[in-house]
Each structure stands twice: as structure tokens, then as C-alpha cells.
Chains A and B, each alone.
Chain A
């Protein structure tokens, strides 16, 4: 099924079945270890988002000028920033807003994509042709460019940041929704539902939509990570939430000014984003593997 699991078998076809079994066991163990590690990270970040006070040792906005630019130590594990605020507490308190922006952007992107994708997949040839063109045109603004245009037009704020990232993720989702709807629409089970005399509305809501959207749930797990990274990139450029609010992108932006004297101000919010998005990827793949093996059974 996955490249990981099949590669050793093909490369060493003569290997004994016992060593193969051992290897398979090791692969499973490795996979479940990474799954649990990722799950713990995601749970911790969710906890930080819901109840930051439980994890953060200090007030994220408390200024202590005598302690500015302290390197990481036992008292401040992630160091302190230019005003002596505890970076670790700020990372913990930033989880809520960063996660909200990522989730909000993904929701915006998905809603737009579902409207476009359904229109294309179900609306007949003309609608499909137009939707395909619209997606193609949106694709011509690679990466965060679409987001940058929107920010140029509407000015930078947390709301624009979220909407802009959402719109930038939309074409990718729209393409997938459309493809899924078309694939499901042409499948045998839809044909048999039609043969059974089910009404078009019932076929749409009971058969086509659930089947078309199931693969999307996995992609959303991956997509939230992407949205958080893009939002953080915009924040890093100073186009999002403004300091001193504790938000990962805004923290990165503040740290950029002092990068040569206080590397920890950018390093720790950044690695938090890396570890969190990696964990989302690992979880997303597990979900996908589970969904795939469920489907093939």
C-alpha cells in the first residue's frame, strides 16, 4: 500500500519470510510510535489553545525590562524578548490565536472550494468549463501571492490575514472537490441508486456528498498545517496580528528585528510551528492509511 511497507520486499525478494515479518513488525512499531508522538504534540497544542494558563508559567504580556534578551535558561526555557517577556509563555498563549487563524482560513477555503467544486461537478458542461477556468486562473497566483494581493487591497489585519490565507488555499481544495464529485457521480453505486429510483436530491445528499467528502477530511488535517504556515509567513512579514499580541506570526515578526542578538525569539515560535505541522502531517497520513485500508476491504 505505501512505499514504506513495500520497498524492502521488492528490493530483497530472496529475504526469508521470518526477517520480512520482523521488518514488518518494526515498521508497524515505528509507525505507531510516530503516531503517538504526533498525537501528544497535537493534544498539547490544543490544550495550550484552550487553557493556556495551565501550561504557561507567566503572563505573556508581563514586561520586565531588567530581564530583556535573556538567553534560554531554567527560569525562561525559551528565553525572553526585547521587553523581558517570557517567550515560552508567549508561544503557549499564541497557540489559540494561531490555531484559530489556521482553522478559520481552512474553513473559508473549504466553503469556497465546495461551492466551486459542486458547481463544476454537478452543474453540467458549461458550469464545469467555467469552474475549471476559474480554478486555473486562481492557480496562476502561486503560493501566498493571492493572499498578498488581498492584503494590498484591504489593508493588513488579523481578519484580512485569515481571509487571504483561506482564499489562497481555495483553488487546491476546489480542484479536489470537483474531481471527487465527478468520480463519485460516474461510479456504479450512484448508477444503482438511480436504478433503484431514488430521487436526485436523495442521491445527492445521501450518496454523492458523503462519498465525495470523505477523502477531504484527511486533506483538511494536512491543510490546516499549511494554512498555519502561510498565516505565520504573512505575520512574519508584518501583515497580520500586530505586536505585542502573543501570536506565532507576530512573534516571528518581532524576532526578525533582533535576529542577530536574540535568535531564540524566532527559533522557538518557528520550531513550534514546524513540530505542530509535522505532527498534523503524520496524523493526516495515519487517517489516510486507515481510510484507504477501510475502503479496500
Chain B
């Protein structure tokens, strides 16, 4: 029952959820969205319908996220206009405060501000930063590309580790499997702030194989390793568990008896089954990579929205914080939809079973 949770390193209180066997199957139970059941069932029966439903629920989710961050912003003690002008100690004249208040719309009723905020989101306008006095959307647009490059490279590294370790050591006799799984536990437990510092000191400062700070491809190696290795350890654990289970299936024996080489069976048949939970978790994985990118970009002084977020949080520049978190939530939601589609691509069974890829 708790096989998945066993495989989770400390870094996995979150991911236990998505595949949690304790979660009663959503499609089967009297789900929360029971009323228009007939319509839902018809939509779920086709792939485009399922995607449409998925996108719709993603939009509702993003609206909820936007609402939460908007009202959080108004929990901040003190006058935001004063904060923009450098705090109460700056002692700006009242007319300046009033001008700033009018400029940012703080003199409007809360609901009007909320409507403006939502309207802005739809147009891609995230407000403007208190400290940088620039539109938040422009700052993010400038900084998100390096972060996406970093997280993309890290995800690739993580999968390379997961597949390599599983193919080489899972379901093999002797010490190999034990060493492999032990190593995965250790990798998954490495915090970014420590691994990054160690890699930086060893490869950039001491051996000088790689640059300490560089925006080119050489500068991507250490940050991507820092970010990708722990996730790789985690994905490998999940993949290994599934690989062990799949290699006991009858189809393995039948493939072997057809004369397929054992290596081919592992690579073409067993791995395909074993990769599924890992793929389902990759959307979550990308989210954890973006969260980790905050730390990694600071260690390696890399450009990116993580670095922007840290500065914004420290200076309590709320529009910037909210803008970045909203965009991250957006990327995360899109990534989760994409991983659902990837799961369908890898597992043809999901194309016919209703609601399989929830």
C-alpha cells in the first residue's frame, strides 16, 4: 500500500500526493463534480474533450491562485504608497503620497482594485515593481528564459540519471541493485544549497575546469547538475520500484521465450512500464526544479527569475513577488497538463480508459 511513500526521500512529502495510492481513485468515486455527470462523462470519453476539461480546470485554478496572491498583498501591514516611497522613515510630503496612491490605484475600493488586477492578468499586465519602477511583465520576460533553460537541462539530467541507474542496476541479482538504490537515496537527499556549493568549490574554484560565473553553455553545467541530481535520485527510486514490479510480469517471460535479448526486454518493454509514474511526477518535478532554481541561481550568481524573486522578497517588492509566483504557477500548471499528455503518449491504455490521466 505504501510502497510509493517508502521510496520517498525527505524531499518528497509533496510528491507522495500525486501518485498516492491512499488517494481514492477520483474518477470512480462520487466525485465533487457529480451533477452534470452525463455531460462530463461524454467529454471524458474523448481525448480532445479531456484536454478541454483539463484546460478549463487549470484556468479556474489560476484564478484561485491570482485571488489568493491579490488578497495576501493587502494583508501587508502599513501603507503600500509609503513602502514605494522608501518607508515611513523617508517622510515624503503628503501630496507625493497621494500622487503615488492615485498612480497605483490604492485610493480605489478593494473590489475595484481586484477587478483591475484580474483584468490586467488577462491582458498580461502584472503591474509595476515598487523598487525597479518597471512593468513586472517586462522584468519576468527578460529573466525567465535563463531559468527555463536551467530547469529544462536539469530535467534532462534527472531523467538520464533515473533511466541509467534503473537500466544498469534495477532487478539485477547481487549487490548491484542494492548499491544503485542506496545511491539514489543519498542523491535524493542532497539539498541544492550544499551540492551547489560543493560542485562550485571542487570544479570551478579548485580544479578550474568550469567557469565560476558564465552565461554561456559552460556556465550551465554546474547549476544544471546541482538542480538535476537530487531530482534524478528521486525519479530513479520511483522508476526502480515500478521496474521491479514490471519485471515480474508475465509479458517479460513471454518476450524472453520469444528469443528477445534480455537487454532489449529491459529497455523496450519493462522500462516503458516503469517510466510511467516518473513521467506523471515530472510536472511536479518541474515545479520543484523552479523552486530549487531560486537557491541555485543565487549560488552561481546566474540570471533568472529565481534571483529576481529573492531580491523582490528581501525588499518586500510585492507586485514583483506576486508576478513571479503567478508566472511560476502558470508554468507549473502547463507542465502538469503536458505530463498528462506525455503519459498518454507512453501508455496507450490511457487513451481508452476513461479519466485515466487525471
Q: Decide if A24 is an interface residue (CB 8 Å cutoff).
A: no
**Is the C-beta of B241 less than 8 angstroms from some C-beta in chain A?**
yes
A selection of 13 A-B contacts at a CB cut-off of 8 Å is A4-B177, A7-B172, A141-B65, A142-B332, A143-B288, A152-B312, A152-B317, A152-B321, A172-B17, A237-B298, A260-B201, A270-B198, A281-B189
Total A-B contacts with CB atoms under 8 angstroms apart: 225
Closest to B60 in A: A133
Chain A residues, CB < 8 A from B284: 142
B201 touches A259 (CB 8 A): yes
Nearest CB in chain A to that of B74: its residue: A153
Whether B14 contacts A171 by the Cβ 8 Å rule is yes
- Residue of chain B at shortest CB distance from A136: B61
Chain A contact residues: over half helix, strand or loop, or mixed?
Answer: helix
Q: Which residues of B sit under 8 angstroms from A133, Cβ to Cβ?
A: 64
CA distance A263 to B299 in the complex (A): 13
Q: Taking CB as reference atom, which chain B residue is nearest A175?
A: B17
CB contact list, A272-297 vs B, under 8 A: 273-274, 277-278, 280-281, 285, 288-289, 292
For B284, give the chain A residue with the smallest CB separation: A142
A175 touches B172 (CB 8 A): no
* Stretch from B22-30, B136-144, B345-353 that touches the partner: B22-30
Chain A hits for B68, CB < 8 A: 137
Q: What residues on B are CB-neighbors of A6 within 8 Å?
A: 244
Q: Which B residues lie within 8 Å of A179 (CB)? A: 20, 22-24
Chain A interface size, under 10 / 10 to 19 / 20 to 34 / 35 or more: 35 or more
A104 adjacent to chain B (CB < 8 Å): no
A278 touches B24 (CB 8 A): no
Q: Given known contacts A152-B316, A173-B13, A215-B2, is B22 in contact with A140 (CB within 8 Å)?
A: no
Which residues in A have their C-beta under 8 angstroms from that of B100? Answer: none
| B302 contacts the other chain (CB 8 A) | no
Task: Answer whether residue A37 sits at the interface, using C-beta atoms and an 8 A cutoff.
Answer: no
Are the C-beta atoms of A140 and B290 separated by less than 8 Å? Answer: no
CA distance in complex: A259, B298 (Å)? 13
Partner of B32, one of A125, A237, A273: A125
- Verify if B49 is at the interface (C-beta below 8 Å from A): no
Bound complex: CA of A236 vs CA of B196, how far in Å? 12
Question: Do A7 and B193 form a contact, CB below 8 Å, given A140-B329, A151-B313, A175-B23?
Answer: no
Asked if B170 is at the interface of the complex by the 8 Å CB criterion, the answer is yes
Residues of A within 8 A of B309 (CB): 148
Which A residues touch B299, using CB under 8 A?
A: 256
Could you tell me how many residues of chain B have their Cβ less than 8 Å away from some Cβ of chain A? 85
- B interface with A by C-beta (< 8 Å): 1-3, 5-14, 16-17, 20, 22-24, 30, 32-34, 61-62, 64-65, 68-69, 72-73, 75-76, 170-174, 177-178, 181, 185-186, 189-194, 197-198, 200-201, 205, 212, 240-241, 244, 247-248, 284, 287-288, 290-292, 294-295, 298-299, 309-310, 312-314, 316-318, 321-322, 325, 328-329, 332-333
Verify A267–B197 contact, CB threshold 8 A: yes
Q: Is the CB of A3 within 8 A of B240?
A: yes
A176 to B12, CA, bound (A): 12
Contact partner of A148 among B6, B73, B241, B294, CB < 8 A? B294
Task: Please measure, in the bound complex, the distance between the C-alpha atom of A35 and the C-alpha atom of B332, giving whole angstroms.
Answer: 37
Known: A142-B332, A183-B24. A232 touches B193 (CB 8 A): yes
A89 at the interface (CB under 8 A from B): no
Q: B194 and A274: CB pair below 8 A?
A: yes
Q: Is A15 in contact with chain B by the CB < 8 A criterion? A: yes
Please, which residues of chain A bring their CB within 8 A of the CB of B23? 175, 179
A3 close to B241 (CB less than 8 A)? yes
Q: How far is the CA of A288 from the CA of B7 in the complex (A)?
A: 11
Please give me the residue from chain B that is nearest to A223 by CB atom: B13
Residues of B within 8 A of A11 (CB): 171-173, 177, 247
Of listed A132, A233, A238, A267, residue having the most chain B CB within 10 A: A233
Q: Which residue of A lies closest to B292 (CB)?
A: A143
- Asked if residues A145 and B189 are in contact (CB atoms below 8 Å), the reply is no
A180 to B192, CA, bound (A): 32
